[in-house]
Amino acid sequence: MPFTYKRATIKDIDILTRTRIEVLRAANGLSEDVDMSEVEKQSRMYYEKALCNDMHIAYLVFDENCFVGAGGVSFFQVMPTYHNSSGNKAYIMNMYTKPEYRRKGIAYKTLDLLIEDAKSRGITAISLEATDMGRFLYEKYGFVKMKDEMELPL
């Protein structure tokens, strides 16, 4: 089954924003009655800025004209370290495949496109947050669990 992988542009902001909300609902177990209007507004603003300044790349996947999946990568910089002398990093996010299209290689191909884009920028530090459902895919690709990172929830 041939799928079309399209690099998203600002013209795709509606589908990107809708997919972001769908991913967040699924990852957090949120029902349709949970108000996501502020997250939706902020996500749209993020895409408007990040797609235009090339700090985010996303791919949309189609089966003919039917949207079936997506994935994105955000680029940012931290202070240089011994293992990452540029400080440039990439964060994979918003990986999604419609349930009826899962287990067909769509997410793997999307992930591969995102990682190739990151590598083409010279980025050597790529991370992500994995759900239980996605963990196998990321481990298969070669991602490993981080051991030293911590977070302070505020």
pLDDT tens, position by position, 27-48 = 899 999 999 999 999 999 999 9
Residues 6+ apart with CB under 8 A from 61: 3, 4, 5, 6, 67, 68, 69, 70, 97, 106, 109, 110
Q: Kindly state whether residue 119 falls inside one of the protein's structural domains.
A: yes
CATH number at residue 97: 3.40.630.30
Q: Kindly state whether residue 112 falls inside one of the protein's structural domains.
A: yes
Count the neighbouring beta carbons within 10 Å of the beta carbon of residue 51: 20
Q: Kindly state whether residue 150 falls inside one of the protein's structural domains.
A: no
Question: Is the CA virtual torsion 88, 11, 8, 135 positive or negative?
Answer: positive
Answering whether pTM is above 0.85, one says yes
Domain that holds residue 36: 4-141
Q: Kindly state whether residue 54 falls inside one of the protein's structural domains.
A: yes
| Contact (Cβ atoms closer than 8 angstroms) between residue 70 and residue 63 | no
Q: Kindly state whether residue 136 falls inside one of the protein's structural domains.
A: yes
Q: Kindly state whether residue 151 falls inside one of the protein's structural domains.
A: no
Number of structural domains, the chain? 1
pLDDT digits (tens, 9 = 90+) for 66-104: 999 999 999 999 999 998 999 999 999 999 999 999 999
Count the neighbouring beta carbons within 10 Å of the beta carbon of residue 33: 5
Q: Kindly state whether residue 123 falls inside one of the protein's structural domains.
A: yes
Q: Kindly state whether residue 72 falls inside one of the protein's structural domains.
A: yes
Q: Which two tokens stand for residue 113?
A: 């496109």
